[in-house]
Amino acid sequence: MPKSGVISILQGVEGLPIIVVFALLLALFMYTAPTVFLQPFIYTTFLSTLPPLILLAIGLTFVIGAGEIDLCFPAIIAFSGFVFAVLFKEYNLGWIAVAAGLASGVLVGFVNGVLVAKIGIPSFMATLATQFFWTGMATVLSGGKSYALREAEQSSVWQWIVGRPFAGSQTAWLAQMPMQALWTTIIVLFLWLILTRHRFGEHVLFIGDSNEVSRVVGIDVDREKIKLFTLMGFLAACAAIMLTLENKNFFGNQGQGYLLTAIASVLIGGTSIFGGRATIIGTVFGCFIIGMIEAGLVATGLTGAWVRTVQGLIFLISIIFYLYADEPQRRRTFFARFGRFQGFGRVQSVE
């Protein structure tokens, strides 16, 4: 196969640069901490801790792909988590508590969409304001208290959402496989299809390219944006319920740690901050990179104090890698400075 053919096939693989970064990082940790990363348990652990981050990041992939931003989702994790926890614990409402938690997230997301699409407030400001509002509401309503969900694992809600279906297995790592990994996989696949195969996904990326052109070609931009923020609210509520059930606790400040990590996962994954380009596969691998760094560094022997530094470094490397892998013009100019590799990439020559 000609060299250019291989390159074009590789360039057709969604999220390839970030998959390469992920593979390199994983290989590094397998080398530096083999007792941890060559065993299955750390991976089953990630499958129980990463689903909330993945759900949030997938929702953000749509939002950022449309050229918008949502800063409200940590507040939805607190607010929907509170709605779910109080109904589940105080009123013993089980699945109704789940429905109410999801509905509260959808409602907050819908309101965000209306503020952005109909009122015309820039999404950064609108969702920043609603983040403060709903976080405050969660604190006021809960009185700042945590709710411990004692005996939660006895309920069908817990079993179905975050249970361990193979708990009786003799294989230790299989016994730890969590249900939330299955639900998250289904949601990710469904939303990947929506983004890449459905009209809604096409509209999102079109809007990300240009609101005006989207309107000209007949896309109802306002409606699509409201759908977008509502979807984000729904996914944040899913994350809230998973988190609350997995921890068997509602913490009054839960969700606050996800803001920057979720945004970083999306951008590391290759979704453009300017909109118009989004990749679900890239985002999922971005989440795994973000989630893996601390465990990898600590197992390697570095103190946890290094985590942020290395996260920042990998963030930069990934973005640079993406820029040069995905944009032949930029790559061509870069290599031309060194006077060689002029035939590398899709574009053959340098002027």
Contact 350, 332 (CB under 8 A): yes
- Work out which of 295, 311, 318, 332 binds other proteins, going by CB under 8 A: 295
Closer to other proteins by Cβ: residue 15 or 291: 291
# binding residues, other proteins (CB under 8 A): 39
How many other β-carbons are positioned within 10 Å of the β-carbon of residue 96? 13
At 151, list the tokens. 């005996």
Return d(Cα 40, Cα 20) in angstroms, integer. 21
The one-character DSSP state at 153 is: G
Is residue 307 close enough to count as binding other proteins by CB under 8 A? yes
Return d(Cα 230, Cα 112) in angstroms, integer. 8
Closer to other proteins by Cβ: residue 254 or 271: 254
Is residue 145 close enough to count as binding other proteins by CB under 8 A? yes
Phi-psi map region of 46: left, alpha, beta (phi>0 left; psi -120 to 50 alpha): alpha
Query: Pick from 259, 285, 231: which is nearest to 22 by CA?
Result: 285
Is residue 149 close enough to count as binding other proteins by CB under 8 A? yes
Closer to other proteins by Cβ: residue 86 or 117: 86
* The one segment of 30-38, 103-111, 185-193, 315-323 that binds other proteins by CB under 8 A: 30-38
* The one segment of 104-112, 240-248, 270-278, 317-325 that binds other proteins by CB under 8 A: 240-248
Is residue 303 close enough to count as binding other proteins by CB under 8 A? yes
Is residue 49 close enough to count as binding other proteins by CB under 8 A? yes
Q: What are phi and psi of 148, to 5 degrees?
A: -90, 125
Closer to other proteins by Cβ: residue 301 or 339: 301
Query: Pick from 278, 264, 280: which is nearest to 318 by CA?
Result: 264
Which residues lie near other proteins (CB under 8 A)?
33, 35-36, 39, 41-42, 44-45, 48-49, 139, 142-146, 148-150, 153, 243, 247-249, 251-254, 256-257, 294-295, 298-299, 301, 303-305, 307
